[in-house]
Chains A and B, each alone.
Chain A
Amino acid sequence: MSWACLLLPQLALDGVLRRRPPSDEPLVLVSGPAQARIVHAANASARAAGLYRGQRLAAAQALLSQFTMVEHDAEEEARWHRLLAAWAYRYSGEVGLFAHAVVLQVSRSLNLFGPWPRFEALLRADLKELGFRHRIALAPTAQAAYVLAGVHDGMAVMTPDALRHALSPIPVARARLPAEAAQGLSAMGIRALGQLFALPRAGLQRRFGSGLVMQIDRLLGDEPAPMESYRPPDTFEQRMEWTHEIEQVEALVFPLRRLTGDLSAYLAGRDGGVQRFELELEHRSGPPTHVTVGMLTAGRDAALLFDCARGRLERLVLPQAVVAMRLVARDLPPFVPAGRDLFDTRPAHAVPLDQLRERLRARLGEASIQHLRRTVDPRPEFAQTTTTGVAAVGVAALPRPTWLLETPQPLRGPAPTILAGPERIETGWWDGGDMRRDYYVVRTAQGQCAWVFCAPGEQGGWMLHGWFA
């Protein structure tokens, strides 16, 4: 068995940073009671100025006069954690959540995603795209991967023998052992894990209880570690909140790209697609604005989702400034990827047809794209439909125009020359839409070929119904 551990050292900070446009301004997360505020996390430029985690806020303000403060929200951090678990679920069926880390069982995934170095690069590229700093390690047990990720980024240990060797130099304080045991061990002069492994088990059990021995066994894989596997939820819901108010629709584009990117990552994990989702724009007061995004077929490509949502959003007139945005997707149908021909002649950078249709629909309206299908009805008005279904087979033997007027109009101008006809269409008794007409092909004075009809047997009072264009 192989376990990969993705350690997320700055989960809370990355969660805050990814919802704002990239910038170099110092930013810190603060937590703690109002009297004793402390720095929970600081970004790179704030750290460069000397701020660090656990510092008193007053001390931080003395060091640096200008920085953005954001309240740390533990619940939001947990939400990001779950999102990453949903993303990791696409790579492995067994995903577990550790504090600040996601572990996944990868022995079977390696068959699918290639050898570990390639798989690791894949994970890193995804995490970078999602905007989370990370450290990755691979080990035969989940617990060991968790420990190694904390010490060496990018370490990969394949066999249990090598694992013992790799763990030996790691300091006891960083081996994620129970806190009181770690303290006791260092007081006994046991500094590295190698020394700990060499100690007799019975003595350790008497001295520290069974907890430590069990932890060592799990670390080395001598005893299986029980773990609750992550199961992705059936609906997707993500919310983003800002400290300032957004008044322009254009400014919503950046957070929207993040939200749709997260949705896409989640859907890829579930191997599902989405056909409808809702954007909820929250205002300072009053009810939120809802924007429903519907698509022709289920999709999950991040660019497609973003394009669709952006098109809908751009047509919106904001009644008030927006303080938060929520994306909710409840209906998640299975996703069938579109096949592409091996010998496709289209250019490689082509926008897929589905994406093009969605883009047009987003701007021109939901019903702007139609496909026409011939029906078996002989009446010209009902001979084609835009609804989906099976098209009639066979080709009409009688002359039929290429343009049709939606409602027939009187034919103006001098009397036309009759080229062909009459063709009597007399039918429609079954649904009350009876008609009795003689159709002719005529040539107008302007030289157009027209499809006209008149009352049976009359040859006058022409009604224009189509053009043989």
Chain B
Amino acid sequence: MGQLLALDALLDARQVWQGRGASLPGSTQSTGWPALDAALPIGGWPEHALTEILLPADGIGELQLVLPTLARLTQAARSVMVIAPPYLPYAPGWEARGVVMAWVDIVQADERDVLWAAEQCLRSGSCAAVLAWPLQADDRALRRLQVAADTGKALAFVFRDHRHAVQASPAALRLELESEPSLRVQVRKCRGGHPPARAVPLAAGWS
């Protein structure tokens, strides 16, 4: 008799294809959007993993998607890093959505250092979430972030242009934002199940 392995652990590792989808442990990181939680197989953000958010243009509603999560984390006194944002985060607007700005660190980094800084923050294990806007990120760079997020047990969000949607990505969750006819989010890839076919509507950013 060699070593005893729990059947559950083997199934959770998902190395055996079973025909039907094995149920994954649910996520404890709610997105703050009930409709989106319901559409995702694990019911929230993938924990300790990379989420890629694809945008047709800046300012479309990308912060709207993550601000409920940031509000929940900062209110629980967890640190959030915002790395190389395309514009200045506007404190009155963030605070109106419940974010405690004292727990938000804004890191100004130039193009070459964005991925390095994001990896350092994720790997450190002292940040709850890391938001990054890399301009150039290839498959390898994203995989590094995915591993770093796993090491540091943090939520990683990477915001990229939607033309990268055709490239393969190691991210655990890929969301694409659409603005026409109204703000919607389309799940392109998700762990633990098939992506839902229908887009999930989000409330517009200003209301």
On A, residues with C-beta under 8 Å from B are 346-347, 349-353, 355-357, 359-360, 363-365, 367-374, 380, 383-384, 391, 395-396, 399-406, 419-420, 441, 446-451, 466-469
Name the residue of chain B whose CB is nearest to the CB of A361: B107
A314 to chain B, nearest CB (A): 13
B-chain residues with CB within 8 Å of residue A451 when the two chains form the complex: 206
Name the residue of chain B whose CB is nearest to the CB of A384: B91
7 smallest CB-CB distances across A and B, nearest first, come from A447-B179, A467-B59, A350-B125, A468-B205, A468-B206, A403-B87, A351-B124
What mask results when residues 18 to 30 of chain B are scored 1 for a CB within 8 Å of chain A, else 0?
A: 0000000000000
A-chain residues with CB within 8 Å of residue B90 when the two chains form the complex: 380, 383-384, 400-404, 466
- Assuming A403-B88, A466-B90, A468-B59, is B152 touching A347 (CB within 8 A)? yes
A-chain residues with CB within 8 Å of residue B37 when the two chains form the complex: none
A-chain residues with CB within 8 Å of residue B125 when the two chains form the complex: 346-347, 349-351
Known: A350-B124, A360-B117, A402-B90. 16 other contacts (CB 8 A): A349-B125, A350-B152, A351-B126, A364-B108, A374-B95, A383-B91, A401-B206, A402-B89, A404-B87, A405-B87, A446-B56, A448-B57, A449-B204, A466-B90, A466-B93, A469-B60
Interface 9-mer from B4-12, B97-105, B162-170: B97-105
On whether the beta carbons of B106 and A467 are closer than 8 Å, the reply is no
On whether the beta carbons of A396 and B117 are closer than 8 Å, the reply is no
B139 located at the interface, meaning its Cβ lies under 8 Å from any Cβ of chain A in the complex: no
On whether the beta carbons of A469 and B108 are closer than 8 Å, the reply is no
Q: Quick one: which of B147-199 are within 8 Å of A by CB?
A: 152-153, 179-180, 182-183
On whether the beta carbons of A402 and B93 are closer than 8 Å, the reply is yes
Name the residue of chain B whose CB is nearest to the CB of A443: B204
- Assuming A356-B121, A469-B62, is B206 touching A449 (CB within 8 A)? yes
B138 located at the interface, meaning its Cβ lies under 8 Å from any Cβ of chain A in the complex: no
One of A363, A400, A450, A466 near B116 (C-beta < 8 A): A363
On whether the beta carbons of A396 and B124 are closer than 8 Å, the reply is no
On whether the beta carbons of A448 and B107 are closer than 8 Å, the reply is no
On whether the beta carbons of A372 and B89 are closer than 8 Å, the reply is yes
- Assuming A369-B105, A373-B101, A449-B205, is B88 touching A405 (CB within 8 A)? yes
B-chain residues with CB within 8 Å of residue A351 when the two chains form the complex: 123-126
B-chain residues with CB within 8 Å of residue A441 when the two chains form the complex: 206
- Assuming A447-B183, A469-B63, is B94 touching A402 (CB within 8 A)? yes
On whether the beta carbons of A448 and B152 are closer than 8 Å, the reply is no
How distant is the Cα of A420 from the Cα of B207 in the complex, in angstroms?
A: 10
On whether the beta carbons of A384 and B102 are closer than 8 Å, the reply is no
On whether the beta carbons of A370 and B108 are closer than 8 Å, the reply is yes
One of A374, A404, A405, A466 near B101 (C-beta < 8 A): A374
A-B contact pairs, 24 of them (CB 8 A): A346-B126, A353-B127, A356-B120, A356-B126, A369-B105, A371-B102, A371-B106, A372-B91, A395-B96, A396-B92, A396-B96, A399-B206, A401-B93, A402-B93, A402-B97, A404-B87, A404-B93, A420-B206, A446-B56, A447-B183, A448-B58, A448-B61, A448-B179, A469-B205
Name the residue of chain A whose CB is nearest to the CB of B159: A469
On whether the beta carbons of B152 and A383 are closer than 8 Å, the reply is no
One of B63, B121, B127 near A403 (C-beta < 8 A): B63
On whether the beta carbons of A371 and B104 are closer than 8 Å, the reply is yes
Q: How many residues of B contact A (CB 8 A)?
A: 52
Name the residue of chain B whose CB is nearest to the CB of A370: B106
B-chain residues with CB within 8 Å of residue A396 when the two chains form the complex: 92, 95-96
A46 to chain B, nearest CB (A): 44
Name the residue of chain A whose CB is nearest to the CB of B67: A402
On whether the beta carbons of B58 and A469 are closer than 8 Å, the reply is yes
B86 located at the interface, meaning its Cβ lies under 8 Å from any Cβ of chain A in the complex: yes
B79 located at the interface, meaning its Cβ lies under 8 Å from any Cβ of chain A in the complex: yes
- Assuming A353-B126, A441-B206, is B180 touching A403 (CB within 8 A)? no
How distant is the Cα of A356 from the Cα of B61 in the complex, in angstroms?
A: 30
On whether the beta carbons of B101 and A372 are closer than 8 Å, the reply is yes
How distant is the Cα of A380 from the Cα of B92 in the complex, in angstroms?
A: 9
How distant is the Cα of A384 from the Cα of B104 in the complex, in angstroms?
A: 14
Max count, chain B CB within 10 A of own CB: residue among A360, A371, A420:
A360
Name the residue of chain B whose CB is nearest to the CB of A464: B59
How distant is the Cα of A447 from the Cα of B101 in the complex, in angstroms?
A: 28
B64 located at the interface, meaning its Cβ lies under 8 Å from any Cβ of chain A in the complex: yes
How distant is the Cα of A218 from the Cα of B101 in the complex, in angstroms?
A: 64
How distant is the Cα of A405 from the Cα of B96 in the complex, in angstroms?
A: 18
Name the residue of chain B whose CB is nearest to the CB of A353: B126
On whether the beta carbons of A391 and B108 are closer than 8 Å, the reply is no
B39 located at the interface, meaning its Cβ lies under 8 Å from any Cβ of chain A in the complex: no
A-chain residues with CB within 8 Å of residue B79 when the two chains form the complex: 353
How distant is the Cα of A351 from the Cα of B124 in the complex, in angstroms?
A: 5
How distant is the Cα of A395 from the Cα of B87 in the complex, in angstroms?
A: 22
How distant is the Cα of A446 from the Cα of B152 in the complex, in angstroms?
A: 37
B-chain residues with CB within 8 Å of residue A419 when the two chains form the complex: 206
A-chain residues with CB within 8 Å of residue B106 when the two chains form the complex: 369-372
A-chain residues with CB within 8 Å of residue B117 when the two chains form the complex: 360, 363-364
How distant is the Cα of A468 from the Cα of B110 in the complex, in angstroms?
A: 24
Name the residue of chain A whose CB is nearest to the CB of B83: A360
How distant is the Cα of A468 from the Cα of B86 in the complex, in angstroms?
A: 14
On whether the beta carbons of B62 and A374 are closer than 8 Å, the reply is no
How distant is the Cα of A353 from the Cα of B88 in the complex, in angstroms?
A: 23
How distant is the Cα of A353 from the Cα of B125 in the complex, in angstroms?
A: 9
How distant is the Cα of A419 from the Cα of B93 in the complex, in angstroms?
A: 17
A-chain residues with CB within 8 Å of residue B108 when the two chains form the complex: 364-365, 367-370
- Assuming A402-B90, A403-B86, is B58 touching A372 (CB within 8 A)? no
